[in-house]
Structure 1
Amino acid sequence: MEQPAFYHLCLLLALLLLPLVLLRQLRKHDGDGDGGVRVRVRLPPGPWRLPVIGSLHHLVGRPLVHRAFADLARRMDAPLMYLKLGEVPVVVVTSRDAACEVMRAHDVTFATRPWSPTMRIMMEDGQGLAFSPYGDLWRQLRKICILELLSAHRVQSFRRVREDEVARLVAAVAAAPNVSRRIAVLLADSAVRAMIGDRFSRRDEFLASLQEGIKLVSGFSLGDLFPSSPLVSFLSGTARRAHANHRKNFELMECAIKQHEERRAVAAANGTDLDERRTRTWWTVQKEGGLDVPLTMGIIKAVILAPGWPDVMKKAQAELRGTLNGKPRVTEDDLAQMKYLKLIIKETLRLHPPAPLLLPREARESCKVLGYDVPKGTTVFVNAWAIGRDPRYWDDPEEFEPERFESGTIDFKGMDFEFIPFGAGRRICPGMMFAQSNIELALAALLYHFDWELTDGLKPSELDMSEDIGITVRRKNSLLLHPIVRVPLLSAQ
């Protein structure tokens, strides 16, 4: 949310819509005398609200919403907190027990996704797995994703792709050490090669468009918070940006599909065939049919669019270099021995979960959580960022201490609700294993081949860790480090 334009627009909305709110309240009171019985609802506690804009003024000047929610919940001592963001009723979960109730005890009740006006635009040609409403289509998409891309067997089958892309990463970092950029390229190329069997020729456009889309579907634009008002939608401009991004995304996916078909045609002309058993693509699934819910090309394209430190680093490098003992490259066979590396990844996910609020859920029916009523249609955010830093569950929660996971009793598979970077329950991220495999190999290679220094004489305590907003949170500025080669880059040959 941009400041101070957001604040001024809130005031304008309050002035324009206040008469309508007052009229609605008068009509409601007039109807109370008709003999009807009003059911008293016990909502979770929440901060004070204003007419029209509800709780939005508490977020003014706080573009990182997960941090603003955490501060509000802490001040109110509210593990379950109710807010009204414009017209949208919202419940924020900020404790392990509340998260367990939402994602285990009432998992089916909260298994669907809210669809904002922006989301409807972005998904008008087909629903992706992440935002598909709970039902037959979602179950089918999830089954296909797991069978064709994300099962342990399928993830293992993409090993050559991962090792190839990590070798390219090592070579690229040695030449131009923009680590943030190079890792984004690695993840994009690995994911797209797994899905269409080749790198995407327009990858840079794809990354830029994907990042714009992630910001648009965050659900916190004014057009999404006042869905009944065409005026707000027009003033916010989000709908125009969403339409433009939607068109761009699908143009890129059409290009990817064409590139894949051309690759198949070349293989056929040369008397060879692509190994469909190994790279079984979405288009293959669509053509074979036999699905309970027909897979449109729009759905397929939408799914594709959905994927104290210096001492810690030295300890991880000692583990890697001592175990590999001069090997020219890191392979996935080596990762099983890298115990400390896995602890580093867990601790990083605790402090910096990729989706700090997880993806929003919606109450399919009214229910009780921690004794409070959550009405049907309420949007529910689980603040994984706040839970992962809660001193009730973690000693020295703001400190980066991978050793806290040495006991092996806590994992991110969705069973330990104080540590849920990938969510839990039916809507847990199905790409967890795919992401873990890519990150482990990439991090191992970067630590094995290079020593790292900050640029411009910075100290670790001076490193800019500012975050950018969106459903996913990343560094606002690129991470620029100076790599010093310690193991020859034969892996890039």
Structure 2
Amino acid sequence: MPPLLAELGLLITFISLTLLITFLIMIKTKTRSSPPSKQNHKQSQPSNHHLPPGPLFHLPLLGHLHLLGPNPHHDLRRLSNRHGPIMHLRLGQVPAIVVSSPQSAELFLKTHDLAFAGRPQVQASEYLSYGQKGLVFAQYGSFWRGVRKLCTLELLTNAKVEMLKGMRREEVGGVVEEVRGVGEVGGVVDLGELVGRVVEDMSYRMICGSKDGGGFEFKEVIKEMSEIFGAFNLSDFVPFLRPFDLQGLVRRMKSLSKELDKKLMKIIEQHIQDATGKQGQGKDYKDFIDIMLSLMESNNEQEMQLDLDHIKAIVMDMIGASIDTSATAISWIFSEILRHPNVMKQVQDEVRNIVGMDRMVEETDLAKLEFLNMAIKEGLRLHPVIPLVYHENYEKDVVVDNYLIPKKARIIINVWAIGRDPNAWSDNAEEFDPIRFANSDVEFYGQDFQFIPFGSGRRGCPGLQLGLRVVQLVLAQLLHCFDWELPDGMLPCDVDMSEKFGLAISRAKPLLAKPTFRLNINL
């Protein structure tokens, strides 16, 4: 999906050379697209079902790609408003079905969930996910089920989340102490960088067993991976262009893949050494990598035969998903709270009344912070971290709501548009208003299709509980421990909310604020 239509400028020369040929193709296509006779229609579509509506005109080679700009989730909503909540596009040579309403999302993610449980095979996953050997990009099947079960049981269950509570308290406490020091000298905090760092350290400790990821930082690697996965790769839509690498993306993928593989191999080698120990006594505690290595050696899991590439792909999926999504979510929610001082006051009043001013927030307090949780829901409604979720119809043609969805069609769930659908959220759907969740049964878990920030169905996010706990704890602690004001006389309306599109949609500009410590305790 293209984040930057400007990249098409790189292809102008190539496309101009094909105009003479494609002009003839366009004429033939137009002729073929005229209404066929009933007899011919019955031969080509025995079921009498047809593709969903969509824009009539498309370019040769590019299809409807020219309609998409730097923020395709915005463009897809605009097109869906015109053509309907189930819309057909031609992205190069790939048929795509865009889903943009709660009702249509339920059809694809619940009613026909199994049919659309596949993932598109994009070029980036070949290089950066070891040929789809991880969890996120793996095709639906026995291997994927086995990996999901492994990740859930060994890393993401409620019991595992509770077991790591002390680690989260330690990490967040260290950040509070650091921010207090900045505030005492009148300094300014880059909240995005701060939050990214604490979430990164938590993720390393959960997955790799050490705070620094075995001495290797992945933040820059993850940032570039997100850019590449979100980038417009013409080869994914016009496959015969793959050998030419016209945009240089494959060169970037190969370089990043080599760097990533070196880091992951050194971490795994260190775990193998630690498992044996100098005296052969081994470690007392097994982290997630240790567990996967032991499964690879025992080879007891029939659903998934793990090798080193599988382990590297799974580790990278877990690190990338935990760092990128949680940190981005916190940044967007904090942005909205800074833009709405009345919301900040209500959150802080609630925490003060429930927790008091003589201690920091504990995880047992989080369920009681109703208004904070409403603000989190509202932030994720307006700013879902993954705005476009991709599925694939991987087995056969399927009929949905009387529309024919062809095999290998790319299904694009526009989570961003669904969260702003005025039919589901009223006329003020574009406004940040946490009160809309008061006395509401709508929850995070993917059963309410007007609100699916963590996805839904078989391919929904397995790390929902852990990610949500991190978001709640970091926000509660920072808002409880500090008062925040914008620097340099900025007004709330001056906070820049522009987006940077990628696999995850992050803030385009840093989020800066001045902290003042407000508790009656010594750290």
Whether these two folds match at TM > 0.5 is yes
> Which of these residues, 280, 286, 294, is aligned with residue 276 of structure 1?
286
Aligned twin of 2:307: 296
> Which of these residues, 18, 21, 28, is aligned with residue 19 of structure 1?
21
Q: Distance between the aligned counterparts of 1:21 and 1:254, measured in 2?
A: 51
Aligned twin of 1:53: 62
Deviates more, 1:323-332 or 1:133-142: 323-332
Note if contact 1:172-1:182 (Cα within 8 Å) is conserved in structure 2.
no
> Which of these residues, 293, 296, 308, is aligned with residue 286 of structure 1?
296
Note if contact 2:87-2:98 (Cα within 8 Å) is conserved in structure 1.
yes
Aligned twin of 1:97: 103
Aligned twin of 1:435: 467
Deviates more, 1:280-289 or 1:164-173: 280-289
Partner SS, residue 455 of structure 1 = coil
Judged with a 3 Å threshold, the aligned counterparts in structure 2 of structure 1 residues 440 and 271 are, in CA distance, closer, same or farther, namely same
Note if contact 1:354-1:473 (Cα within 8 Å) is conserved in structure 2.
yes
Aligned twin of 2:327: none
Partner SS, residue 456 of structure 1 = coil
Partner SS, residue 316 of structure 1 = helix
Determine if the alignment matches structure 1 residue 256 to structure 2 residue 267.
yes
1:21 deviates by 8.3
Deviations 1:190-237 (A, max 9, x none): 122111211125777411111111221236322222222236x42111
Deviations 1:86-141 (A, max 9, x none): 12211110011110000011101000101012222223366111110001110000
1:24 deviates by 10
Note if contact 1:359-1:471 (Cα within 8 Å) is conserved in structure 2.
no
Amino acid at match of 1:138: W
1:260 deviates by 3.7
Aligned twin of 1:44: 52
Partner SS, residue 246 of structure 2 = helix
Judged with a 3 Å threshold, the aligned counterparts in structure 2 of structure 1 residues 217 and 21 are, in CA distance, closer, same or farther, namely farther
Q: What's the RMSD between the two structures over aligned residues?
A: 2.8
What residue ranges of structure 1 are gaps of 5+ in the alignment? Answer: none
Note if contact 1:178-1:479 (Cα within 8 Å) is conserved in structure 2.
yes
Aligned twin of 1:330: 361
Q: Distance between the aligned counterparts of 2:200 and 2:287, measured in 1?
A: 22
Deviates more, 1:186-195 or 1:322-331: 322-331
Note if contact 2:4-2:231 (Cα within 8 Å) is conserved in structure 1.
no
Q: Distance between the aligned counterparts of 1:18 and 1:305, measured in 2?
A: 45
Deviations 1:428-459 (A, max 9, x none): 00011110011111111101111111112111
Deviations 1:13-37 (A, max 9, x none): 26427626846997998xx9xx994
> Which of these residues, 460, 463, 469, is aligned with residue 495 of structure 2?
463
Note if contact 1:223-1:239 (Cα within 8 Å) is conserved in structure 2.
no
Q: Distance between the aligned counterparts of 2:215 and 2:51, measured in 1?
A: 46
Q: Distance between the aligned counterparts of 2:272 and 2:477, measured in 1?
A: 33
Partner SS, residue 373 of structure 1 = strand
Note if contact 2:77-2:417 (Cα within 8 Å) is conserved in structure 1.
yes
1:264 deviates by 4.9
Q: Distance between the aligned counterparts of 1:111 and 1:58, measured in 2?
A: 27
Aligned twin of 2:478: 446
Amino acid at match of 2:196: A
Q: Mapping of 1:347-426 within 5 angstroms?
A: 347-395=378-426, 396-426=428-458
Aligned twin of 2:328: none
Aligned twin of 1:312: 343
Q: Distance between the aligned counterparts of 1:207 and 1:53, measured in 2?
A: 34
Judged with a 3 Å threshold, the aligned counterparts in structure 2 of structure 1 residues 464 and 412 are, in CA distance, closer, same or farther, namely same
> Which of these residues, 223, 245, 261, is aligned with residue 234 of structure 1?
245
Amino acid at match of 2:367: A
Q: Mapping of 1:85-234 within 5 angstroms?
A: 85-124=91-130, 127-174=133-180, 175=182, 177-201=189-213, 205-218=217-230, 220-230=232-242, 233-234=244-245
Aligned twin of 2:335: none
Judged with a 3 Å threshold, the aligned counterparts in structure 2 of structure 1 residues 474 and 460 are, in CA distance, closer, same or farther, namely same
Note if contact 2:274-2:282 (Cα within 8 Å) is conserved in structure 1.
no
Deviates more, 1:132-141 or 1:239-248: 239-248
Q: Percent identity?
A: 33
> Which of these residues, 35, 53, 72, is aligned with residue 65 of structure 1?
72
Note if contact 1:126-1:296 (Cα within 8 Å) is conserved in structure 2.
no
1:344 deviates by 1.1
Note if contact 1:116-1:227 (Cα within 8 Å) is conserved in structure 2.
no
Q: Distance between the aligned counterparts of 2:288 and 2:17, measured in 1?
A: 60
Partner SS, residue 422 of structure 2 = coil
Amino acid at match of 1:69: L
Q: Distance between the aligned counterparts of 1:172 and 1:262, measured in 2?
A: 34
Q: Distance between the aligned counterparts of 1:248 and 1:485, measured in 2?
A: 41
1:337 deviates by 1.7
Aligned twin of 2:336: none
Deviates more, 1:87-96 or 1:192-201: 192-201
1:309 deviates by 1.7
1:172 deviates by 3.2
Judged with a 3 Å threshold, the aligned counterparts in structure 2 of structure 1 residues 323 and 43 are, in CA distance, closer, same or farther, namely same
Amino acid at match of 1:458: M
1:5 deviates by 4.0
Judged with a 3 Å threshold, the aligned counterparts in structure 2 of structure 1 residues 439 and 23 are, in CA distance, closer, same or farther, namely closer
Alignment length (residue pairs): 482
Partner SS, residue 336 of structure 1 = helix
1:11 deviates by 6.9
Q: Distance between the aligned counterparts of 2:110 and 2:20, measured in 1?
A: 40
Aligned twin of 1:478: 510
Note if contact 1:358-1:422 (Cα within 8 Å) is conserved in structure 2.
no
Amino acid at match of 1:274: D
Note if contact 2:89-2:97 (Cα within 8 Å) is conserved in structure 1.
yes
Q: Distance between the aligned counterparts of 1:459 and 1:332, measured in 2?
A: 33
Give the alignment's TM-score, normalised by structure 1.
0.90
1:270 deviates by 11
Note if contact 1:81-1:92 (Cα within 8 Å) is conserved in structure 2.
yes
Amino acid at match of 1:80: I
Q: Distance between the aligned counterparts of 1:234 and 1:399, measured in 2?
A: 42
Give the alignment's TM-score, normalised by structure 2.
0.85
1:377 deviates by 0.4
